[in-house]
Amino acid sequence: MYAELKQEFYKLGHCKLPWWIISFMILFMVVIGLGMGQQYGKLLVMTSYDSSQVIMLILIVIGSTIFSMEFQNKTILTLMFHAPNKATVYVAKFLTIFIYDLFLHAIAIIVTVFFNTVPLIAKLVSWTAIYKYNQPLVVNMFATAGVDMIASTLIISLICLTSCLINSNTVVIVINALIVFMGSNLSSNLLNSNIGPIDIIRWNPFNMLNLTTQYYNYGTYHLTSHLSNPQLLIGTLCYIAIFTFLGYFVFRRKRF
């Protein structure tokens, strides 16, 4: 496993896109700060300047490249030849995307700390100010980042599954981007269409995409998801396990 992880990190580290795309995330945070910083300073700090959506988009682009491009270019054959088994290759790629996700969240937190220390784009707010869930703002920020790590891991599991099902990198990116940006609305439409019992439909996988947004805006999104925060968390963890296992099942049976 160590050799496979080392190889994946080497490829990721020597690719320009994963590094250049971070500037896009920071630019997005700047734009959000300029647009909302004077009125929603605490909310921006709690959400790391609304970096959740852009991080998921970055993961889709980079994660799909890590998987699908290997299939398109047939370089997966070289990995399979040197690896002891397919599980090692699959897990190494999953962990590489997960650690890159952790890195992106760390960058978002560092940028947030900078923005809330140097008054360049938004009004400064106190880190110890009591905000959501009767907690200090700094606790809110780290808690939201932790929750979003779980939500983004759901996207990683979807990336792995769709990349193993579809060899086209472009198609995988489009499908997962549509899921991220339209999944919550699709779930809401399903719940409002009265096509079945809400107690069952509310557990659909698209509804789990509300996990992060509901955590920092419970009053609004609880009415949309029809699930509590713990229920969304449990559902998300379950779907992560399901999609990850399905992805490996497809990967193991895939012909190269």
Report the alpha-carbon distance of residue 91 to residue 237 in Å, rounded.
17
CB of 120 closer than 8 Å to CB of 49: no
For tokens 């590094």, the residue is 19
Which band of pLDDT confidence, cut at 50, 70 and 90, is reported for residue 132?
A: very high
Look at residue 213 in the predicted model and tell me its pLDDT: 93
Please choose, from the candidates 254, 75, 64, 66, the residue with its C-alpha nearest in 3D space to the C-alpha of residue 158: 64
pLDDT one-digit tens code per residue, 11-60? 788 788 889 999 999 999 999 988 887 788 899 999 999 999 899 999 99
Q: Locate the DSSP E strands across the chain.
A: none
Give yes or no for residue 232 having a pLDDT over 70.
yes
pLDDT averaged over every residue in the chain: 88
Consecutive H or E run containing 115: helix 86-115
pLDDT one-digit tens code per residue, 50-90? 999 899 999 999 988 887 777 766 667 666 667 678 888 88
